[in-house]
Structure 1
Amino acid sequence: MELAHLNLDINKKCFVFACCIPVKGIQLGAIYDLQRDDIERVPNSLIDFIYNIHSKTIVNIIEEWKNDDIAQEYIEFLIEKEFIFFAYKDHFPNLSDDCFNDDVSKIEFATIIVSDDLIDKMQYISDRIDYLGVKRLHFHFSLNVDIKKIHNVLNSLEKSCVIDLSVSLPYQENFTASVLLKEQRLKSIYFYQSPYLKEDNYGRINLYYLKQDESNLFVPKSSIDTIAINHRAFLTAKKFNLGLYKTILVDHLGRIRLNAVDQKDYGLFLGSKEEIEESLSILSELWRLNRDKINPCKDCELRYACTASFIPEYIPEREGYFVNCNYNIHTNEWIH
């Protein structure tokens, strides 16, 4: 067995690094590497194997699995990926939910569907953004938008608490981002209805050319791009719905939604502070529905990393919360 050739003290024990989290799904498992911000999808049998060998001595592992070729492959894989280490005692305490460092903001990420009416109220919107403590903000502009309007909208946030700005606007063949470069917080521009798919950059600004039209640009969808692997995301997902937590969409009428297809109205973004607090109270109930409480998410190996903003619906006949996700947990494939 591989362990026999490592020249290790056979009385040392095998331990899984605390930052490497095994997660089982109904069909596949996954190992969340929170140190490298990476994920490795693996057979569920490997997850079982990890739990079996954890804290056992090398001599015991060799004796128990010496005639098992699959166990040999698993050991080689875990060593190669640096998911396990060998020592006389575990030097790394398990991650605790108590170390969850919640952001003090009321809303972390907001998408605003810009309309002429909202543009006229940008100063009020900026004040509300500061009140909520929004850190990441996305502005969506519809067809025939004037570049100067975009600049004026972004300029209204000059003294706001926002640290990450992005915009989406219709594809323009001769578009130049130079007028927007003065906005240091602008990170990305998304061009929808583009004739081609492309990723580019203009100075420090990332440019994304998308073929989607405006109608489905913000429709919730799971994909490899909606998977977030990091320490904070994992701890958030253990307590809350990672796809909805402190996230809102403001439609063209200024109404608060959870996403672009949400039929519920959670109040006006520019309503009174008392009304906003009431809206946040309602939203927080949905945020607390983490994916361990939702079907089929609770059986998915990606449940602590998925940021797709599906809204769970309670179905009385089935006595549970459900979402219509495009990821098939039985075939482990995304349906596009």
Structure 2
Amino acid sequence: MSYINFYACCHITKGFTYSIITDLERGIYFSFPTEYFEILSQKNIPAQNNPYSSDPYFQELLNFLEKNKFIYQTQQKENISEVNTEFILPYEIEDIIIDAANGEDLNYKTEKIDIFCEAIQFRIYGDCTVDNLYHSINNIRAIGISSIEIIINYNEQLITQEAYADLYQKNNIISRIIVMNSPEAKKAEGSSILFTTSKLSSCEQCGIISESLFMPNQRTFLTSQKFNSCLNKKLSIDINGEIKNCPSMKESFGNISEISLSKASGMPSLKKYWDVKKDDIEICKDCEFRYICTDCRAYTQQDEIINDIDYSKPLKCSYDPYEGKWFSEKPILYK
């Protein structure tokens, strides 16, 4: 008798119509009909003499899994222990988003940062020079923050493509630069500098849910099971200087010109949505993608509010887990 088991980095998530297997090391996933969830979620699955031995689709599925190194076979049962799913980072605040009207506004706001976090994102809507970027990067570097993502609109007269490359090479603190409103979409060779034709216009562009934005990695997968995948341990400064959980949220905890981030971060109301996980949200709790998807609380369907907390599905998500479809698209069985 031979037995089948999944590699430790592979996890199964049950959905209403389809379920998925996520490989957290390779950052990939694929879907399969939920009718096979019960047997695939077992340990030491009998390779033969199982309830689906005569099911050709199930056998094809097993062949696919083994060929693509999701499962392995043994000749005897293995003693498999539970995988530790705890994921804790030593930060009171993990992420900060700064929305800036222009380069000078960015410099002003970065000078106000007084708390340590893991990563920070600049979103600059208007004119910004390369000197502005260097200035703000140095402000963040002085605090000890180790990762900066820059999102900015294309303006060849102010910052050339060569200047972006030079900025990236000289500052290993930069994780990625996304240049929007570019004449063409491309990726700069040998760096994480992306050019896209979409324009950065306002924070209202946030909240879109799509397969292209899924994050099948260990951090997202494990965090999403206990916390909100978008708002947990996040602070933001919006375009007007208002301190919020997210720039698109309505509630402000004061203006950066009048209150420090460190003081705002201690306000209990800031943590209102930190523990609202996908398993708590209507419709999302039946979705197979819930642990690799972000969860927007700024734009929701507003149809499930309990004790002043919104448990509604994100407004900008077009996936129906009960149909297993993105609107009229056919479901994807393998990805």
| Correspondent of 1:73 among 28, 50, 60 | 60
| Correspondent of 1:258 among 245, 265, 269 | 245
Structure 1 position 75, deviation (Å) = 2.6
Distance 1:136 1:170, change over 3 A: same
CA distance in 1: counterparts of 2:90 and 2:184, whole angstroms = 40
| Alignment-derived partner of residue 153 in structure 1 | 136
| Alignment-derived partner of residue 60 in structure 1 | 49
| Correspondent of 1:27 among 11, 14, 17 | 17
What SS class does the counterpart of residue 82 from structure 1 fall into? coil
Structure 1 position 248, deviation (Å) = 2.8
CA distance in 1: counterparts of 2:39 and 2:140, whole angstroms = 52
| Alignment-derived partner of residue 267 in structure 1 | 254
| Alignment-derived partner of residue 4 in structure 1 | none
1:321 aligns with 2:311: yes
CA distance in 2: counterparts of 1:273 and 1:75, whole angstroms = 52
Letter in 1 for 2:49: N
Structure 1 position 217, deviation (Å) = 7.0
Asked whether the 8 Å contact 1:245–1:287 carries over to 2, the reply is yes
Structure 1 position 232, deviation (Å) = 2.7
The answer for unaligned runs of 5 or more in structure 1 is: 1-9
For the pair shown, the structure with the greater C-alpha radius of gyration is: 1
What SS class does the counterpart of residue 78 from structure 1 fall into? helix
What SS class does the counterpart of residue 134 from structure 1 fall into? coil
Asked whether the 8 Å contact 2:109–2:256 carries over to 1, the reply is no
Query: Matched residue pairs, number?
Result: 312
Which structure has greater helix proportion? 1
CA distance in 1: counterparts of 2:194 and 2:262, whole angstroms = 39
Letter in 2 for 1:257: K
1:293 aligns with 2:280: yes
Deviations 1:272-312 (A, max 9, x none): 47732433x32333110110001221111110111253446
| Alignment-derived partner of residue 197 in structure 1 | 185
CA distance in 2: counterparts of 1:94 and 1:37, whole angstroms = 21
Deviations 1:207-261 (A, max 9, x none): 3223224136742111234211222322111111112222232113322223342
CA distance in 1: counterparts of 2:310 and 2:138, whole angstroms = 46
| Alignment-derived partner of residue 3 in structure 1 | none
Asked whether the 8 Å contact 2:15–2:34 carries over to 1, the reply is yes
CA distance in 1: counterparts of 2:165 and 2:12, whole angstroms = 46
Letter in 2 for 1:168: I
Deviations 1:2-21 (A, max 9, x none): xxxxxxxx2x4333334322
The answer for unaligned runs of 5 or more in structure 2 is: 329-335
TM value normalised by structure 1:
0.80
Identity rate, percent: 22
CA distance in 2: counterparts of 1:159 and 1:69, whole angstroms = 61
Distance 1:119 1:217, change over 3 A: same
Asked whether the 8 Å contact 1:310–1:325 carries over to 2, the reply is no
